[in-house]
Homo-oligomer: A and B are copies of this chain.
Amino acid sequence: MSDAEKAIEYAHKNRERFTKELSEFIKIESISTDDDYKAQVEKAAQWAADHLRNIGIENVKLMPTGGHPVVYGDWLKKPGAPTVLIYGHYDVQPVDPIELWETPPFDATVKGDYLFARGSSDMKGQVMATVNAVESIMKTGDFPVNLKFMFEGEEEIGSLNMGTFLPKHKDLFKADFCLNPDAGAISADEPTITFGLRGLAYFEVHVYGPPRDLHSGLFGGTVHNPAQALAELIAGMHDANGTITLPGFYDSVRVVTDQEREDTAKLPTTSESYLQQTGVPALWGEKEYTPALRTGARPTLEINGLLSGWTGAGSKTVLPAKAMAKISCRLVPDQDPAEVHKQLVRYMEEHAPKTITWEVKLLNDSPWAITDVNTNGVRALASAFETVWSRAPLYRREGGSIGVVAMLQNIVGVESGLVGGSLPDDNIHSPNERMHLPTWHKNMDAFIHFFFNMK
């Protein structure tokens, strides 16, 4: 029996305990965006640190940042062997709308092949898949490579403090490769390596009218309703084709190559599969790009939230004093979040009428990232997937944003291998988030192979 096989046997025998430990981790309501949950976020960091210590990781510590702490740990007893940095985040999204959850969001509930809970798929389950793989090797033999851990607590709020934290600690996090299981897979049967991530620029746009709410009967028709003015501004941000109209928005967008069109056409993500996954009556977006290209290679501008006036039950005949929209752009090479901020401000300058005043706030941003797929790390991952799934992985660009990937590339000089067991129908960021347990188990096996492939 090989060392990898021994570790995999151990992992299989301990699946029940692994699920129990994951449920404990999930139980901690580590919602990073909401200050009311600050103590819970800290508690989750503490839990992860304790767990690393328990499986034999050394120098474990909570490192303060401008916000929630980063959990560090290492195991550096293989001089000469490569060092793998394991990235994860222990924070989760809010649970609203809570009434749509079929099980309590922080009580992990197993139904059939799925474990339901906030943070199960995104990404406490993925964190534990790597940690369980490490434990399985540690407990059955000698670890083949050196290890470092970086678990952050602000991924769901755009890794707000990572940009100031990382430069201060760039030697500590130096490594030959970063295993980042936050990117998910196309399906349970199709192991996936993500080589491109979009960046993010997240804004609040405020429109102000009268200094106080007015009676709509007395002043309607003479005052530009701020909710209407905001709607008019939002409506103008896309043309009829779904193309974004911010001035200069596409100037630095890399043209999609024919090769990329061909590669993407081979992916199983078709219009049909998008319709099925989303449940909408019809798809939307730029007609000259396939849905897979629209979510991977093209930038977007989405309305994440709208608020104005009376939103309770019944009727209130108010002409609201103000209106607010949360608007975020997903960015692709070679767009720059700071430039997009300027473009949005320029759009408002050009289009906002004189009947209102306005304000654009940048809430957070993260750069796009493209991984070099011809590295030892990516090859070790590909081979591990092939061993477990008996098929080569798919390579794709992904629509999401993981701020730390570009920062590790630019600040520390480490390439990331973007993988993970999160599936497109896992309802991440939505009610009834779930994780596919068979995929979770297969990922543990694959990560065990990966560590041995790296040596």
CA distance A385 to B178 in the complex (A): 83
Tell me which of A18-26, A251-259, A404-412, A426-434 binds B.
A426-434
Tell me which of A39-47, A218-226, A447-455 binds B.
A218-226
Count of residues in A whose CB is under 8 Å from the partner chain: 101
Q: Let me know if B315 and A212 touch, CB within 8 A.
A: no
Contacts of A328 in B (CB 8 A): 216, 315, 317
Given A219-B278, A224-B282, A280-B355; 5 other pairs, CB 8 A cutoff: A94-B312, A216-B304, A218-B399, A220-B399, A222-B274
A429/B278 contact (C-beta < 8 A), A220-B300, A231-B235, A304-B315 known: no
Could you tell me which residues of chain A, from 216 to 250, have a CB within 8 Å of some CB in chain B?
Answer: 216-225, 227-228, 230-232, 234-238, 242
Give the oligomeric copy count.
2
Q: Give A340 Cβ to nearest chain B Cβ, in Å.
A: 14
25 contacts between A and B (CB under 8 A): A33-B312, A34-B312, A96-B312, A202-B317, A213-B430, A215-B400, A216-B302, A216-B304, A216-B330, A217-B398, A218-B295, A218-B400, A218-B428, A219-B399, A222-B295, A223-B285, A224-B284, A225-B303, A227-B325, A228-B237, A234-B235, A304-B316, A305-B320, A306-B308, A316-B326
Q: Let me know if A278 and B217 touch, CB within 8 A.
A: no
Could you tell me which residues of chain A, from 280 to 313, have a CB within 8 Å of some CB in chain B?
Answer: 280-286, 291, 294-295, 298, 300, 302-313
CA distance A50 to B310 in the complex (A): 33
Chain A residues near B (Cβ < 8 Å): 33-35, 93-94, 96-97, 100, 156-158, 198, 200, 202, 209-225, 227-228, 230-232, 234-238, 242, 274, 277-286, 291, 294-295, 298, 300, 302-320, 323-326, 328, 330, 353-357, 363-364, 398-401, 424, 427-432
Q: Give A256 Cβ to nearest chain B Cβ, in Å.
A: 13
Q: Let me know if B284 and A315 touch, CB within 8 A.
A: no
Q: Give A296 Cβ to nearest chain B Cβ, in Å.
A: 9
Contact of A304 among B234, B281, B309 (CB under 8 A): B309
The chain B residue with its CB closest to the CB of A309 is B305
Contact of A281 among B238, B357, B429, B430 (CB under 8 A): B357
Q: Give A268 Cβ to nearest chain B Cβ, in Å.
A: 15
Q: Let me know if B304 and A326 touch, CB within 8 A.
A: no
CA distance A93 to B356 in the complex (A): 26
Q: Let me know if A223 and B401 touch, CB within 8 A.
A: no
The chain B residue with its CB closest to the CB of A284 is B224
Most buried by B among A228, A234, A285, A312: A228
The chain B residue with its CB closest to the CB of A357 is B281
A429/B214 contact (C-beta < 8 A), A224-B284, A326-B309 known: yes
A278/B221 contact (C-beta < 8 A), A317-B429, A318-B429 known: no
Contacts of A432 in B (CB 8 A): 212
CA distance A214 to B295 in the complex (A): 13
Q: Let me know if B298 and A305 touch, CB within 8 A.
A: no
Contact of A315 among B213, B230, B294, B364 (CB under 8 A): B364
A221/B298 contact (C-beta < 8 A), A228-B234, A231-B234, A326-B315 known: yes
Q: Let me know if A430 and B215 touch, CB within 8 A.
A: yes
Contact of A198 among B211, B217, B311, B313 (CB under 8 A): B217
Q: Give A41 Cβ to nearest chain B Cβ, in Å.
A: 13
Q: Give A20 Cβ to nearest chain B Cβ, in Å.
A: 28
Q: Give A312 Cβ to nearest chain B Cβ, in Å.
A: 7
CA distance A259 to B293 in the complex (A): 63
Most buried by B among A281, A291, A432: A281
Contacts of A330 in B (CB 8 A): 216-217, 220-221
Q: Give A378 Cβ to nearest chain B Cβ, in Å.
A: 22
The chain B residue with its CB closest to the CB of A184 is B218
CA distance A34 to B223 in the complex (A): 28
CA distance A308 to B227 in the complex (A): 13
Contacts of A401 in B (CB 8 A): 217, 317
